[in-house]
Chain A
Amino acid sequence: MVSGERQLNRESQIQNPNSAVTMLVRLSRIFLPPLVVVAALLAYRLAFVSAGSDLIRPVRREPWTITARYDEPRVVTDEQLAAVLDRVKPPAKPLKTNNMVHALRLWGVAADFHDPKVPTGRQMREYLLDDRAFRQFAGDETPPLFYRDKDGLAVRSFDDALTNRDTSSYHADDLLATLAEVGTSLDTPMHLRDGEATVGQLLNDSLSRFHLDRLEYEWAVISYARYVFPEKQFSNKFGDRINVNLLVDEVITPALGLGPCNGLHRLEALAVLLRADEQAHALRPDTKRKILAFMKRVSDLLTQSQTSAGYWTRQWPQGPAAATPAKGEEGDVYDRILVTGHQLEWLALAPESVQPPRETMVRAGQWLARTLLELDQKDLEAAYGPYTHAARSLALWRNQDPYQAWLRGRSASVSLVPNSSNR
């Protein structure tokens, strides 16, 4: 009864246009729906939106170790390998960052040649990580290899200036990829000329600059594969979300032969990614199939385009037509070593299902070993980078660490030659 009276009282208040209740009703009708929507959106934000981060946070601090798959003595014998490696020791002069990078990835951090003229693996890595070491090699006047700009840590690149190009980075993200290849942890400190940093910051800032319109993306993909994978996605500073499938498409889509070193670092990047996936098991099956199909296509072309001597020319994407190169297309020995060395290198990491017949590899390896041993030392040093790829590919085909192989070769030659230590 009392509640009925209250109800009547309330209704009469609502009907009175001047009562406070009427005002409240009007205001409620206007504002309640938008307030509820705003409250729901706020609740959504609190419940479902996580705090965004610009940082790339790999789940691992150590890069994936990518090991060789095969040990094929017919491709290169122990003796040939040791002799080839002995010819590609790190050159101290002329100083080129590109040579340092290539020497470091071939020899690794543990290399020590006990020769003051030949930098050790540790020195070469310090060249990249510590500006004091860099200046010891390059001189105090040389601008630093790394600097900071508004987007973080940046690398002085070849195109940045006409001066000091020798000590610059030759390819986008090649320094980072090399640090990954030699097993540098993301927590490793970097001593810059203008402060301290870590390799993790270099990775973050490098990948945040990466975009899919880049002309050179190979080393970014290698860095991603070694450091970031199995994280499948990262965002760059432009807000683009770049995932592993986009990266694979980026590598696979351009015409064969396009890109630095005849486009062969693209295949290396794919081989590294596949090898990392054998440990992480994170690639989508269709992505994996796409990679393998691409590799198989290249592998078939290599079988068809191999010359009778065993090498490949830059025309390998043409298939059988490249096996007997026309005049002017045969290339010089530099080109042949560059192409053949890079091909053997990625194939050493690629699975058996995409390999050309072993005979093809043996012929290529033997041509490479013979040619590297025959080359004039001066020519060899003038094009050190591509020749280290060739030497590395031979070591990979024997599943041997180059430095250990060189040491074994050295001790074998010492034991074969009496009193060789006095020579």
Chain B
Amino acid sequence: MSTSTANELPACVTRDNLTGPYFPNTSQATLYAVIALCAIFALTSFNRLNHTDLWGHINFGHWIAQHRALPTADPFSAHPGTRPMLHSAWLAQLIGHEVQQWFGNEGLVFGHALLMTAIAGVLMWAVVCRGAPPRWAWAAGAAMFVLDLPIHGTIRPQLFGQLGAALFLLAAAQLPTRRHPLIWIPIVAALWANLHGSILMGIAILGAFAVGMTWNLLVEHQWNLGRALRDARFARAWLALVLALAASCINPHGPLLLVKTIFFGDNTALSSISEWQATRFSSLTGMLLLASLAATVALVKLSPRKWELFEILILAVFALATFSAIRMLAWWALAWPVVAVPHAAAAWQAWRERNQLPEQAPDEPTSMRTLMAMGVVFMTALLAPPSFALVSGQGRGDGPSMVSETPLYLADEVARRGLTGNIAVPMDWADYLVWKTDGRLKPLVYSHVHLADPAAWEDHKRLFTGDPKWLALLDAHQMKYVAASRQRSPELAKAVLLDSRGDNPRVRILYQDQRCLLAEVLPAEKAK
């Protein structure tokens, strides 16, 4: 053990008697990384399961598992639209369903935390491969976590896409010196194309890398194109892109998937969903984006490290994408740390040198740090709800593991009564009701709005915003039941309640609690 390291630690820590051949030593950088990863795991696992499209995806996974095929039309809606299905996330949906079936809600929470931790881990590795000091690796994970704050609580197939993007960023960091990414890039691309419809983000990363590498080689070879083309790095960069493109065609739609995902956002129904709207600067997403852009400007000024074309390209592409749609923050949260952390480390080192601060002590591994890392892992396992459930063998149950907006009690009542048929229900409640009734209840619209019939979508909006012709709308769509939120659709809830108490009611209240009421729509002739 070096004297300088020993001096930094108190005697009670250094006097360990642990060091020996059978017990590993851990560096400061690794300990920081373990702490960061454990923190990300624990903090992510405190998120409860979202009530919206998570259950929609699980429903699709359930359908695929049941039928051992992909649905050709929307199997859940009372009025499916005519747009053809896009199976860009079928594998993620199937995995989600299987995890839920085998491990319940805690399994989903665990999987979510594990994916976020894996993404952070890959990013940390990527920044080290890009030349940042290992002691700075933790900063990449932390930056990703902070930038991802507006969306990281939501479990979606997009998480697999984020892991794919992190792996492609790692590949871009390794390809200048290593060939092995050429083996695993096609595997990741093929999986990604079936896990989430964001494979184009990966293509963009590798495309930017190939362009940046070409530029670097041209500069390096003093604009001698022939020498640049003969450089192995040139071939590696473009081969990686070609392999990724080719492998991404292994999916139910083949090469068409890439085209379809480009035009996916054209659906008019999506324009009313907040995450598909342009980023507002007053939102958390907007503020994070602006803060990270400001930090980038500061780094441009402070970092002595050369800014590469690849870095400029991916920052520009993903910043513009995030300005255009909130949901694109997911990719900015990955790209920014990989670019910014090496520059931040360089700026820090330059500042230390300018101020003539002593050089940092070498990062000598010690056994005590291994013990500390084990303690951190142990505490994380006890603190994080899903791992504690695993340790104790006791899950938290549906209530504590799901967000409070989940229509838990309504779904329980619907299942108890064995209701089947069409139901008009708030869009974000519908997915869970479909899940709990195994598809026997068919909502007018659910959170996969891109699949909805446009007329049904418009009528759904009218119905839940207090249209006085609510009964006519229910009749027009042959709705057998209606469920309304007392808080969000007070006009509809009041109208339903008043009608049920009238002399000639068209609806019969089946269930009500402090948040919602559920009513059966009686046929007009029966009501008379």
Contacts and interface: CB of A to CB of B under 8 A. Distances in A.
A238 B410 CA distance: 12
Given A49-B394, A159-B511, A215-B512, A28 B374 contact: no
Contact of B513 (A25, A30, A215): A215
A52 interface: yes
Contact of A213 (B393, B409, B510): B409
Given A159-B511, A214-B514, A49 B392 contact: yes
Interface in B374-401: 374, 377-378, 381-382, 391-401
Interface string A2-40: 000000000000100000000011001110110011001
B24 A49 contact: no
Given A44-B391, A215-B513, A36 B400 contact: no
Contacts of A141: none
A215 B510 contact: no
B130 interface: no
B397 A37 contact: no
B416 interface: yes
Contact of B400 (A30, A162, A239): A239
B350 interface: no
Given A28-B22, A40-B378, 7 more contacts: A29-B24, A37-B381, A49-B393, A52-B393, A236-B399, A238-B412, A240-B400
A239 B378 contact: no
B24 A239 contact: no
A235 interface: yes
B373 interface: yes
Interface string B396-426: 1111110000001100100010000000000
A211 interface: yes
Chain A interface size, under 10 / 10 to 19 / 20 to 34 / 35 or more = 20 to 34
Interface in B154-206: none
B130 to A, nearest CB: 27
A40 B513 CA distance: 45
A211 B397 contact: no
Contacts of B514: 213-215
B10 interface: no
A149 interface: yes
Interface of B: 21-24, 370, 373-374, 377-378, 381-382, 391-401, 408-409, 412, 416, 508-515
B23 A162 contact: no
Interface in A115-144: none
A84 B412 CA distance: 45
Q: What are the 7 closest A-B residue pairs judged by CB atoms, nearest first? A: A239-B397, A238-B399, A240-B399, A28-B22, A29-B24, A213-B513, A49-B392
27 contacts: A25-B22, A28-B21, A29-B23, A29-B24, A32-B22, A32-B23, A32-B24, A33-B374, A37-B378, A40-B374, A41-B382, A44-B391, A45-B392, A211-B408, A211-B513, A213-B409, A213-B513, A214-B513, A215-B513, A236-B399, A238-B397, A239-B396, A239-B398, A239-B400, A239-B401, A240-B399, A240-B400
A241 B416 CA distance: 22
A54 to B, nearest CB: 10
Given A213-B409, A239-B399, A41 B381 contact: yes
Contacts of B412: 238
A25 B370 CA distance: 16
Nearest to B377: A37
B374 to A, nearest CB: 5
Contacts of B393: 45, 49, 52
Contacts of B408: 211, 238
A235 B374 CA distance: 34
A239 B393 CA distance: 14
Nearest to B380: A37
B165 to A, nearest CB: 28
Given A14-B21, A238-B398, A238-B408, A149 B416 contact: yes
Given A45-B391, A45-B392, A213-B515, A159 B509 contact: yes
A32 B21 CA distance: 12
A37 B378 CA distance: 6
A110 to B, nearest CB: 37
Between A45, A211, A213, the greatest number of chain B beta carbons within 10 A of the residue's beta carbon is seen for A213
A52 B370 CA distance: 34
A49 B391 contact: yes
A88 B463 CA distance: 49
A49 B393 CA distance: 9
A272 B13 CA distance: 58
Contacts of A211: 399, 408-409, 513
Nearest to B398: A238
Nearest to A150: B416
B494 to A, nearest CB: 15
Interface string A209-226: 001011100000000000
B24 A33 contact: yes
Nearest to A28: B22
A149 B398 CA distance: 19
A213 B394 CA distance: 24
Contacts of B401: 239
A149 to B, nearest CB: 7
A235 B397 contact: yes
